[in-house]
A = this chain, B = another copy of it.
Amino acid sequence: MRGLLISAGKLPSEALIKKEMMKSDCVVAADGGLKYLLDLNLCPDYAIGDFDSIESKYLDMALDKNIKIEKFNPEKDFTDTELGLNFLKEKSCDKITMLGATGSRLDHVLGNLSCLIRLYEEKIDSRILDDNNEIRYFERGLIRFKKSNKKYLSVLPVDEVVFSTWKMAYEVSGLRIKKDETRGVSNQILGEEAYIKIEKGSAFIIRSND
């Protein structure tokens, strides 16, 4: 079951939101994400959060459109994004895409990357998507990447990572990168597909475009 969470970071393009909504079984707007969707005349299945940062007319609009609203106390130990992710997990989603999870607040962006780690540990296949990036988190294993519209493929160590690459511009074998090194940035897939094997440690793998 595919879940889609739309948070209140930078709004991705309407085309990307619609494409992802079409593919999803359950669409949740976290707090300010509700405003974005309603302004585009798009309807999530659920809206979740403390709603302390959006005008009340949006909550009225949501009720009119039969969007189910789950309201939480603003004094809480979880971010709105985490509340949304927990909700999607309760709905048995085993694949989750996060939109609106990047943007100008770097603390929120890094917090959302932490959520990717947590989801991986819970065996939920998840990613953060915006118009320039697709971000996933991986531990030990072999991963296949098909050619896409994203030119670059980068490996960013979370602590320390040892990995090999095949069919890429820079092929490496057992390369060790520590958390203070940038050598995994801006590799490229050469043909129709490429492989990365993480032998030790963990990393964010980011596919991106300028």
Q: Is A173 close to B, CB under 8 A? A: no
Task: Please tell me if the beta carbons of A182 and B121 are within 8 angstroms of each other in the complex.
Answer: no
Cα A131 to Cα B105 in complex, Å, equals 10
Mark contacts of A153-192 with chain B using CB atoms, 8 A cut-off: 1 yes-contact digit, 0 otherwise: 0101111000000000000000000011111011000000
Q: Is A104 close to B, CB under 8 A? A: yes
B114, B182, B204: the one contacting A180 at CB < 8 Å is B114
- Range for the number of chain A residues in contact with chain B: 35 or more
Task: Please tell me if the beta carbons of A182 and B133 are within 8 angstroms of each other in the complex.
Answer: no
Question: Which residues of A in the span 58-90 have a Cβ within 8 Å of any Cβ on B?
Answer: 77-79, 81-82
Known: A114-B179, A118-B180, A182-B114. A132 touches B106 (CB 8 A): yes
Known: A117-B179, A159-B159, A182-B115. A208 touches B106 (CB 8 A): yes
Chain B residue at smallest Cβ distance from A105: B208
Q: Is A210 close to B, CB under 8 A? A: yes
* Chain B residues positioned under 8 Å from A143 (CB to CB): none
Cα A107 to Cα B106 in complex, Å, equals 13
Task: Please tell me if the beta carbons of A107 and B159 are within 8 angstroms of each other in the complex.
Answer: no
* Chain B residues positioned under 8 Å from A154 (CB to CB): 107, 110-111
Chain B residue at smallest Cβ distance from A203: B110
Task: Please tell me if the beta carbons of B117 and A133 are within 8 angstroms of each other in the complex.
Answer: no
B107, B121, B130, B181: the one contacting A185 at CB < 8 Å is B107
* Chain B residues positioned under 8 Å from A185 (CB to CB): 79, 107-108, 111
Q: Is A126 close to B, CB under 8 A? A: no
- Give A70 Cβ to nearest chain B Cβ, in Å: 19
Q: Is A195 close to B, CB under 8 A? A: no
Mark contacts of A98-135 with chain B using CB atoms, 8 A cut-off: 1 yes-contact digit, 0 otherwise: 00001011111111101101100100000000111101
> A residues near B, CB below 8 A?
77-79, 81-82, 102, 104-112, 114-115, 117-118, 121, 130-133, 135, 152, 154, 156-159, 179-183, 185-186, 204, 206, 208, 210
Across the A-B interface, give the 5 residue pairs with the lowest CB-CB distance, nearest first. A107-B154, A111-B182, A117-B180, A118-B180, A107-B206
